[in-house]
Chain A
Amino acid sequence: GENVEQHPSTLSVQEGDSAVIKCTYSDSASNYFPWYKQELGKRPQLIIDIRSNVGEKKDQRIAVTLNKTAKHFSLHITETQPEDSAVYFCAASRGASFGNEKLTFGTGTRLTIIP
């Protein structure tokens, strides 16, 4: 089955700096890669996703890049703010219908923004 590795497990950055979280996956058939943000005591919430036919996607301060050849994808957060502090999970799945195929999650990155 799919295996998703995520690094680093913890990350601290100064407010205003950029943060980068990296994931690798094992299943070459995976074609959908979402990122979830989970605040303490709350549910994971989708922040951005990317499909395998796209190399990069941006949404304001958040961007995701995908390298299918190397089987890795990354989350980039620019101009970080205190409210970006949370645990971030990457995930991967195969199948044409994206969200309704089972997701395999990475182990999470605890991001702390230092004011």
Chain B
Amino acid sequence: DARVTQTPRDKVTEMGQEVTMRCQPILGHNTVFWYRQTMMQGLELLAYFRNRAPLDDSGMPKDRFSAEMPDATLATLKIQPSEPRDSAVYFCASAANGGSPLHFGNGTRLTVT
């Protein structure tokens, strides 16, 4: 059963620190999404890539967030500097061309104190 793998599972950090979250999409999936989930805002799309090219990052605060795909097996989401309002669960998800549904990873629970 192929899965999207996210690390770390949990991250607690102090305000101002850099946070890096990593995602390994399902092998063969060419589209990778980053979603943020909070109680207040629900599931929000931050950014997504197709064939490693960024397609839309309009949901992401540009001053502190950055998303990249160094290669087809790794997507990263960085926050620098982190703030308490960034506390949320960050989900990576991937999908393939031609009718594949979206598969979510287990998420990274970020707490910024």
B-contacting residues of A (Cβ < 8 Å)? 34, 36, 42-46, 49, 89, 97-100, 102-108
Contacts and interface: CB of A to CB of B under 8 A. Distances in A.
B43 A105 contact: yes
B111 interface: no
Contact of A97 (B45, B91, B98, B104): B98
B43 A99 contact: no
Interface residues of B, number: 25
Given A105-B42, A105-B43, A107-B42, A99 B107 contact: no
Contact of A43 (B29, B33, B101, B106): B106
Contact of A102 (B56, B96, B98): B56
Counting from the closest, the 7 A-B pairs by CB-CB distance are A100-B31, A100-B95, A99-B95, A43-B104, A105-B43, A99-B101, A99-B102
B105 interface: yes
Interface in B36-88: 42-43, 45, 48, 50, 55-56
Interface of B: 29-31, 33, 42-43, 45, 48, 50, 55-56, 91, 95-107
> Chain A's interface: helix, strand, loop or mixed, by majority?
mixed
A103 B45 contact: yes
A108 B42 contact: yes
Contacts of B31: 99-100
Contact of B96 (A46, A100, A105, A107): A100
Contacts of B48: 102
